[in-house]
Amino acid sequence: MKSHLAAIAGALLLAAPSIAFAQAGSKGSVKVGVLLPLTGNTAWAGKTNRIAAAIAAEEVNAQDLAGGYKIELVVGDSQCEPRAAHDQAERLISQEKVQLLIGEWCSSASVAVAQVANDEKVPLLINISTADQIAGDSGPYAFQSSMQNRYSQEREAALLQKDFKFESVAIIVENNDFGLTFRKNMVALMQKAGKKVVLDVTQDRNDTNWYATITRIPASKPDLVIVSISAVQAANFVKQYAEAGITTPLFSDYPPPPRIFERQVGAQAGKIGLVRAAFFVKSDTNTPAQKEFVAKLEGRVQKELNEAHDVTYWDVATYDAVRLVADAIKRGGPQAAGYLKAMAVTKIDLVLGHYEFDEQRGSRPEGLNFVFIRTKPDGSIEVVE
Amino acid sequence: MFGQILINGLVLSGGYALVAVGLTLTFGVMRMVNFAEGQSVMIGAFIAYTTVPYFGYVGAIAAAMAVNAVLGVILERTAFRPFRGVELNGLIASMGMSIVLVNVAELVWGTTPRPFETIYNETSVNFGTVGISVQRLICVAASAAILLGLWWLVQYTSLGRKFRAVSEDHETASAMGIDVNQVSRLALVIGSMMAASAGALSGPVNMIAPDMGRTEMLNAFAAIILGGFGNVNGTILGALLIGMIQSIGAVYISNAYSSSISFGLLVLTLVFFPRGLVPERVDENV
């Protein structure tokens, strides 16, 4: 009898993965639209983000993490541009018949997508854009799982006051939703701390010529320069800052992707001693889940794109977004009403950290990772704190 | 600070002028707009970036121009010659080629922007409180030299006379024994080579990426329209104005709307000078 029971138990154990596999999809498929920049100046990130999303969907389907539903991803190239993002969101909803949306990358584009999501009553998870209150201002169908600027800037301002000696600052940002909310928050935080803002400049997002802006820095004599500029433009800025020979300490918001940025302008950033924020840095201190994700994604990128890749925050945030969507489907089903209710009470630990949402459908910042890094003169990275 | 503003404006103007004059040359001879000129800038930058370890910087610029000469031949055969006389089709074809070139670049060099470092980036000359890299000064000098060379070619050589003849009346030029196809091909080749030089010269100032070239293209069009479409001298003047206005406007007005300032001025200029600052005089055109 005992041997029979053991045999049955053994057979059940062996069959468990296939039973789980069979369950995923037993309630049908859910089409999830993912808006990513696959062309344009942020395509460098969108291509690996897509792979991260695909890995998450495969895991969800293999391990039945969406409560019997199979997730089917449909990707739209939203180019980090509001108009393209708006059009792609419309296409995914009307032609591809997606039931749920994830994206976009740039804040201004996410604002446009949120408008479509609310008009069409399709739930949206904004997973990367960090401008404040995108979900809160756009209506009940949008959630924002990325840490909003106001939270990250509070941490940045605290670090600046702790580690830098300064009385005056220059604040330089891009002229878009992302940069402008950073500027608003940082100016308020600096003034609250009694610091003087001696230069406050916004620059067109597509204008690669930062030199004109940089020439204004010595004349205004700030003790510290604070920038919030998207990844590629940040590389142009640092290159031109170093070229101009400006020695004023430079602090950057989180956009420059660790290591990728160092490969581009590590020498210049090291010469300046650039300090910046980061939501995720591949390092020995990563959690086991983070190490596992890094290994999976880097191997897959090597295989699919034939290139070495250093995992970025944006990859992690995209992977986590698919898992968050699956978790909400599992608890509330894919229909908008149940899904939104389930998403609102999310409590889950994923690769980046612990996710919960506040009343405005923005993520609570307490559980999410946030570090500060410095580029050393040899172009390598050290974690400041 | 004015020295930096001036140099910055000249760097911008030089890049715009190289692209704009290439466009004007092609338009003057073929009466068709090459919408792939901006992507030719990008290809030139990547070729120079790839070859600089083997040939040095000057050799890399030459290599970029050589590769783009071949690209010019390909463009002429695929996007222009089949559509001669049907300008709209040619326009769409060149737009299509511009997309193909971006995709080719993404396949070959990937989508992650790359730094194009030369030894001239690392050396800066101090003007007051701000340094200017030798690379920027090279940009200004080389752009001026190339534009001067093109002016000489158009004004004083047999090929230049052929350019001007075809530009004035391609049927009469053909009747006089000028090979219009060959002249058109050479116009595209030279235009493409100038785009390569623009990419190779300005590439080290910024990151290079497959989507670069669009800003240069847009500003080059503004320069052409401002200067008077089809006129080389007017185009250079237009490029100089656009670059300087952007540089001065960025410092003294706002860098948030630098493009709006220059394009706003363009619109105003066209209100008062509908044919541009240097109105087209066919005998002066290429």
Of B11, B210, B255, the CB nearest to A201: B255
pLDDT grade for A21, boundaries at 50, 70 and 90 = very low
Question: What are A197's strand-pairing partners?
Answer: A169
A238 part of contact set with chain B, CB < 8 Å: no
Q: Is residue A104 a part of any domain in this protein?
A: yes
A251 and A178 part of one domain = yes
pLDDT grade for B112, boundaries at 50, 70 and 90 = confident
Amino acid occupying residue A300: R
CA of B220 vs chain A CAs: smallest distance (Å)? 15
Inspect the interface and report whether the beta carbons of B207 and A264 lie closer than 8 Å: yes
Res A111: pLDDT = 95
Q: Is residue A194 a part of any domain in this protein?
A: yes
Q: Is residue A362 a part of any domain in this protein?
A: no
Q: Which residues of A touch B45 (CB under 8 A)?
A: none
Position with higher pLDDT, A332 vs B106: A332
Question: In which residue are the tokens 């790359």 written?
Answer: B114
Of B1, B113, B215, the CB nearest to A215: B1
A44 and A129 part of one domain = yes
Q: Per this entry, what is the length of chain B? A: 286
Domain finish residue from A278, A308, A343: A278
A250 and A338 part of one domain = no
Residues 6+ apart with CB under 8 A from A327: A65, A66, A342, A346, A348
For a pLDDT cut of 70, what percent of chain B falls above it? 97
Give the tokens for residue B59: 């050799």
Mean pLDDT for all residues in chain B: 87
- How do A224-228 and A250-252 pair as beta strands? parallel
Q: Which residues of B touch A49 (CB under 8 A)?
A: none
A164 part of contact set with chain B, CB < 8 Å: no
Of B1, B113, B210, the CB nearest to A264: B113
Q: Is residue A384 a part of any domain in this protein?
A: no
Distances (CA, A) of B199 to A119, B37, B38, B95: 44, 11, 9, 19
Of B131, B132, B206, the CB nearest to A208: B206
Q: Which residues of A touch B102 (CB under 8 A)?
A: 39
Q: Which residues of B touch A216 (CB under 8 A)?
A: 1, 251
Minimal-distance CA residue of chain B relative to A237: B206
CA of A315 vs chain B CAs: smallest distance (Å)? 15
Residue B3 has pLDDT above 80, yes or no: no
- Give the integer Cα–Cα distance in Å for B67 and B65: 6
Distances (CA, A) of B48 to B21, B53, B198: 21, 9, 11
Q: All domains of chain B, ordered by start, with CATH?
A: 2-272 (1.10.3470)
Residue A14 has pLDDT above 60, yes or no: no
A149 part of contact set with chain B, CB < 8 Å: no
Of B4, B11, B121, the CB nearest to A215: B4
Q: Which residues of B touch A305 (CB under 8 A)?
A: 110
- How do A354-355 and B114-115 pair as beta strands? unpaired
Question: Average pLDDT of B247-264?
Answer: 80
Q: Are A17 and A59 in contact (CB under 8 A)?
A: no
Inspect the interface and report whether the beta carbons of A175 and B256 lie closer than 8 Å: yes
Res B142: pLDDT = 94
A154 and A217 part of one domain = yes
CATH at A156: 3.40.50.2300
Residue A179 has pLDDT above 70, yes or no: yes
- Which of A107-121, A173-187, B42-56 comes out lowest in average pLDDT? A173-187
Give the tokens for residue A199: 């230069």
Helix, strand, coil share (%) of chain B residues, nearest 5 = 75, 5, 20
pLDDT grade for A19, boundaries at 50, 70 and 90 = very low
Q: Is residue A181 a part of any domain in this protein?
A: yes
Question: SS3 letters for A234-285?
Answer: HHHHHHHHHHCCCCCCEEECCCCCCCHHHHHHHHHHHHHCCEEEECCCCCCC
Best mutation target among A44, A307, A309 (most B Cβ atoms within 10 Å) is A44
A172 part of contact set with chain B, CB < 8 Å: no
Q: Which residues of A touch B38 (CB under 8 A)?
A: none
A130 and A161 part of one domain = no
pLDDT grade for B280, boundaries at 50, 70 and 90 = low
CA of A246 vs chain B CAs: smallest distance (Å)? 7
- pLDDT tens profile B37-89: 999 999 999 999 999 999 999 999 999 999 999 999 999 998 888 887 777 88
A200 and A139 part of one domain = no
Q: Is residue A100 a part of any domain in this protein?
A: yes
Q: Is residue A178 a part of any domain in this protein?
A: yes
- Give the integer Cα–Cα distance in Å for A362 and A341: 14
Inspect the interface and report whether the beta carbons of A203 and B256 lie closer than 8 Å: yes
Position with higher pLDDT, B135 vs A3: B135
Res A205: pLDDT = 79
Inspect the interface and report whether the beta carbons of B215 and A207 lie closer than 8 Å: yes
CA A262 to chain centroid, in Å, comes to: 19
Inspect the interface and report whether the beta carbons of A204 and B112 lie closer than 8 Å: no
Question: Average pLDDT of A114-124?
Answer: 96
- Which of A1-15, A95-109, B15-29 comes out lowest in average pLDDT? A1-15
- Give the integer Cα–Cα distance in Å for A263 and B184: 42
Q: Among B101, B99, B92, B50, which residue's Cα sits nearest to residue B74?
A: B101
Inspect the interface and report whether the beta carbons of A44 and B110 lie closer than 8 Å: yes
A32 and A134 part of one domain = yes
Residue B86 is inside which H or E element, if any?
A: none
A136 and A35 part of one domain = yes
A53 and A29 part of one domain = yes
Q: Which residues of A touch B126 (CB under 8 A)?
A: 245
Q: Are B168 and B176 in contact (CB under 8 A)?
A: no
Res A18: pLDDT = 43
Q: Is residue A345 a part of any domain in this protein?
A: yes
The number of domains in chain A is 2
Q: Which residues of A touch B214 (CB under 8 A)?
A: 206
- Give the integer Cα–Cα distance in Å for A329 and A139: 20
- Give the integer Cα–Cα distance in Å for B195 and B215: 13
pLDDT grade for B129, boundaries at 50, 70 and 90 = confident
Residue A308 has pLDDT above 50, yes or no: yes
- pLDDT tens profile A230-268: 888 899 999 999 988 898 999 999 989 998 899 999 999
Of B8, B111, B246, the CB nearest to A44: B111
Of A211, A218, A236, the CB nearest to B8: A211
Q: Which residues of A touch B203 (CB under 8 A)?
A: none
A236 and A262 part of one domain = yes
Question: Which structural domain range is residue A116 located in?
Answer: 25-147+290-355
A107 and A160 part of one domain = no
DSSP A7-71: HHHHHHHHHHHHHHHHHTTTT-EEEEEEEE--SSTTHHHHHHHHHHHHHHHHHHHHTTTTTTPEE
Angle A366-A367-A372 from CA coordinates, rounded to 5°: 80
Inspect the interface and report whether the beta carbons of A203 and B106 lie closer than 8 Å: no
Res A20: pLDDT = 44
Give the tokens for residue A177: 């939703």
Residue A221 has pLDDT above 60, yes or no: yes
Q: Would you list which residues of chain B are within 8 Å, Cβ to Cβ, of chain A?
A: 1, 4-5, 8, 11-12, 102, 106, 110-115, 121, 124, 126, 128-133, 136, 205-207, 209-211, 214-215, 246-247, 250-251, 254-259
Angle B177-B179-B181 from CA coordinates, rounded to 5°: 155
For a pLDDT cut of 70, what percent of chain A falls above it? 94
pLDDT grade for B279, boundaries at 50, 70 and 90 = low
Inspect the interface and report whether the beta carbons of B111 and A43 lie closer than 8 Å: yes
Q: Which residues of A touch B112 (CB under 8 A)?
A: 44, 260
- Give the integer Cα–Cα distance in Å for A270 and B41: 30
Question: Average pLDDT of B119-147?
Answer: 87
Q: Which residues of B touch A240 (CB under 8 A)?
A: 205-206
Mean pLDDT for all residues in chain A: 91
Res B30: pLDDT = 84
Residue A296 is inside which H or E element, if any?
A: helix A288-305
Residue B11 has pLDDT above 80, yes or no: yes
- Chain B contacts in chain A segment 351-380 (CB below 8 A): none
Q: Which residues of B touch A204 (CB under 8 A)?
A: 255-259
Residue A4 has pLDDT above 60, yes or no: no
Res A1: pLDDT = 47
A68 and A93 part of one domain = yes
Q: Which residues of B touch A219 (CB under 8 A)?
A: 1, 129
